[in-house]
Amino acid sequence: MGDEKFVFLDDAAELPPKAAKQSTLKTKGKILSVDDDLSYQQSLLYSLRDFVAKGDVDEILTANSAAEAATLIATQDDIAVILLDVVMEDDDAGLRLVETIRNVQGNSLVRIVLLTGQPGVAPRKDVMAQYDIDEYWNKSEIDYDIMKAVVASNLRAWRSMYQLEQARVGLQLVIDASRKLASKYDKNSFIQVVLNEVALLIGGGTSVPTLCVATQSPNDSFDKSYILAYSGDDVVQTGQSIPQHLCRQFGPLYEAAVADHRHHFSDNLSILCFPNNQEESSHYFILAEGREPLSEYNIHLLQVFGENISSGFMKIALINQLSNLAYLDSELQIYNQNWLLRELETMNHADREQTELVMISIDNFDSQTLTFSEKTLFQMITDTHQKIAGLFNKTIGVSRIETSIFAVLCNNDESVSDEALLNFTNQVSQVDGEIRNYTLTIVKVDLAHMDSFSPMQILYLAKSMLYTSRQKGRAFMVYSPSYQEKLLNDYQILNDLKTAIVEHEFFLVLQPKVDLRTEHPVGLEALLRWKKQEQVIPPNVFIPIAEKSGMITKLDLIALELTIEALKSLDKKGYHVPISFNATVKDLYDSNYIQFIEEAIAVEHIDPDLLDVEITETQAMDSYEKVNPILERLHNLHIHVSIDDFGTGYSSLAHISKLAADTIKIDRAFVTNLREDKANQQVVELVLNLAQLFGFSVVAEGIETEQERDALLSKGCHIGQGYLYAKPMPLPELLTWLETHEPQKVMN
């Protein structure tokens, strides 16, 4: 029959019936024929009907188009072989279906055999090289016998891969389950999971009788063993001896397993042997009774799985120890962040309704590492923990989630009052006879508000509250839903900022700096503003968010670009006025930012004397070693450098004397009410003396009254800016203002 072609049936021929014979596999697989030539498909089905009749496959399915086949494959996970016509509704319909199966549906197991009656449309060599298919035949080359052989070989290949995949999935489920249980549950819980998985691996589901038995001594007989755990429909008491019917049923296998310390299998019975675990001298046995005789596949899988069980018995004590380490702080031997997240994860709705989270942070701990010894700092941490434990009489647990941050979980009825928590923020620690005063920041979160939050979201929320409290100078803060609303609002602003950058929604305003003696402008300060849908967003709304998110560098670059444009526009009008613009240390570290300035000077012919980079005192001093060389580079380009907010930081005189800067700006906080405020007067005098000593010019910010101006002049400060003279203005408005305020050429 080697040259016999397919027998063509009429359209009324019936499809092959479903197989009735049972198999030890979960599925024998199905064959799918995809062909728009119905006559050819009918003859193919007739030729393959023996595969169904003999029980080799479950069913033969048909589809008449690639689209119909794609839908069918997506809903059937046990299709073993696809006989696929290349040319159907389109010339490449079959090949596109291959791409869908492999890359979209992610089905790598199914075997695909391409069949074509038009070999010129999709040449074999090209197709085999480009597509993940298993065989490719011209319909004119394949006869009845060849087709049966092709289908049979691909069925065998699919079953091998299917069995391996089933084994992998089964083992992975057990390994995952074991890992989860090992960190929290005892040995018996681990064994119970193993029993359930063994029942699934032998193909009978959780109703199959499986049990774990143990012996008091390796030499005990089977009837002296006792039941550790049981799974199945029957009622068997744990801790009791083996029932007589099970002794009779499993006795011979048990004796064989004890004799050679190996697993044994017989018909539908299996016994897995695990001798002498590290904790005890007893043996463990897993007994299982399948519904059908065990296949070689089942036995092999149980043997491989047995290795995992054996490792679990041997290592479970070690895993428990490691679990403790994973949830304990190594220094204080109290709970850590992992424990906190686990507790939050296991809480149900009712638990959260009754629980509070209190987070306590030691203020300025990082900066104190430069001042105090490790012993002193550790003593501070230890004392803080002891005081927390004393403040909270009853807790679910106290954990250390960072070096200087503690978290307390407690029931609402055991919580500490807000007043007590506020008083707790001031602390004293005694080390080596010395008294150390320090402060804490504390936030409290009622988890009843957090029912929809994940543990990590709760943790991040509490940490963000600590950050916000420090920023606002508040020692104690209680969570309210409005805080979440602010976070969401900030998140929306952040997203809007990203859009604003793309849509060019930013513009520049410029505030004049004037000679306080003549009131003539001597310079300008560039300030970035954001206009969204005809609404100007205040800078105090979006600048902090940009700083926290790291987007401030992008905004600074936009401000620089707009400053260059403003200088060019002013130059065209005949005004040669220097403009200062804000920069951060991150800007200065960015070679692209510096390169932009250099290109503006070289390409745009911007006079470098008209560029004035403003950096805050805090950033300049904190990053002095890295920043000063960059400032010197700017100086070499004849670009001016101003130190903004001077007096608000803690500068080193040694650094100030060598700082590559031209101007220091007195912060508006020291200018306000200058005539009456003695402390502000002293700060201004100090700044002016330093400026004279080190050769800096001085600009005072925020001048709003004539009294403030007169006080500055009386102390020798001649340059300033503020609402007394002019508010920040867009360029067109500034040009109008300059018509009546002629700029001075030189700043004194």
Amino acid 731: pLDDT: 95
Pairing state of beta strands 697-700 and 663-666?
parallel
pLDDT at 6 over 80: no
Q: Which two tokens stand for residue 599?
A: 């290109």
| pLDDT above 60 for 433 | yes
pLDDT reported for residue 321: 62
**pLDDT of 365:** 82
Please give the Cα distance from 103 to 95 (Å, whole number). 12
Q: Which residues contact 556 (CB under 8 A, 6 or more apart)?
A: 581, 582, 583, 584, 587, 593
The four Cα atoms 628, 633, 636, 638 give a dihedral, to 10 degrees, of -90
Output the pTM of the full model. 0.48
Helix/strand number for the chain, H first, E second: 27, 27
* φ and ψ at residue 733, rounded to 5 degrees: -70, -35
**pLDDT confidence of 324, banded at 50, 70, 90?**
low
744: pLDDT strictly greater than 80: no
- Could you tell me which of 526, 500, 640 has the C-alpha nearest to residue 582? 526
Rounded-to-integer distance, Cα 257 and Cα 218, Å: 11
Specify the amino acid at residue 203: G
pLDDT of the residue at 179: 57
Looking at the DSSP bridge assignments, the partners of residue 531 are 536
Mean pLDDT of 145-173: 78
Closest CA to 655 of 633, 687, 628, 619: 628
Q: Which residue, among 146, 119, 135, has the nearest Cα to 4 in the 3D structure? A: 146
Q: Cβ–Cβ contacts within 10 Å for residue 394, how many?
A: 9
484-487: long-range contacts, CB 8 A cutoff, minimum separation 24: 484/449, 487/461
Pair of tokens at residue 525: 């300060």
Range of 203-212, 506-515, 632-641 with top mean pLDDT:
506-515
In 178-205, which positions are buried (b, 16+ CB within 10 angstroms) versus exposed (e)? beebbeeeebeebbbbbbbbbbbbbbbe
Considering the chain, what is the average pLDDT of its residues?
Answer: 81
Residue linked to tokens 């911007």: 606
In DSSP notation, 453-489 reads --HHHHHHHHHHHHHHHHHHT-SEEE--HHHHHHHHH
User: Coil, strand, or helix at residue 408?
Assistant: strand
The secondary structure of 640-680, three-state, reads: EEEEEEECCCCCCHHHHHHCCCCEEEECHHHHCCCCCCHHH
Residues in CB range of 315: below 8 A, 6 or more apart? none
What pLDDT score does 546 carry?
86
Q: pLDDT digits over 509-558, tens only? A: 999 999 999 999 999 999 999 998 888 989 988 888 888 878 888 999 99
Sheet strand arrangement including 210-214:
226-231, 210-214, 284-289, 269-274, 264-266
Q: Which residue has the higher pLDDT, 577 or 22?
A: 577
Indicate the residue type of 592.
N
CB atoms within 10 A of CB 48: 24
How does residue 505 score in pLDDT terms, banded at 50, 70 and 90?
A: very high
Given a cut of 80, whether residue 239 has pLDDT beyond it is: no
Q: Which residues pair with 663 in a beta bridge?
A: 642, 697
Q: What is the sign, positive or negative, of the torsion defined by CA atoms of 539, 544, 548, 552? A: positive
pLDDT in tens, 587-622: 888 888 888 999 989 888 899 999 999 988 777 776
CA distances from 659 to 584, 619, 700 (A): 16, 12, 19
Distance CA 604, CA 255 (A): 94
**288 burial via Cβ count (<10 Å: 0-12, 13-18, 19+):** buried
Helix (H) or strand (E) holding 324: helix 296-326
The amino acid sitting at 79 is: I
Q: Which residues in 295-316 are b (16+ Cβ under 10 Å) and which e?
A: bebbeebbeebbeebbebbebb
If you ran DSSP here, which 8-state letter would residue 702 be given?
A: -
Measured at the CA of 268, the angle between CA 265 and CA 274, to 5 degrees, comes to 35
pLDDT band at 170 (very low <50, low <70, confident <90, very high): low
Q: How far apart are CA 342 and CA 725, in angstroms?
A: 60
464 vs 602: CA distance, rounded Å: 45
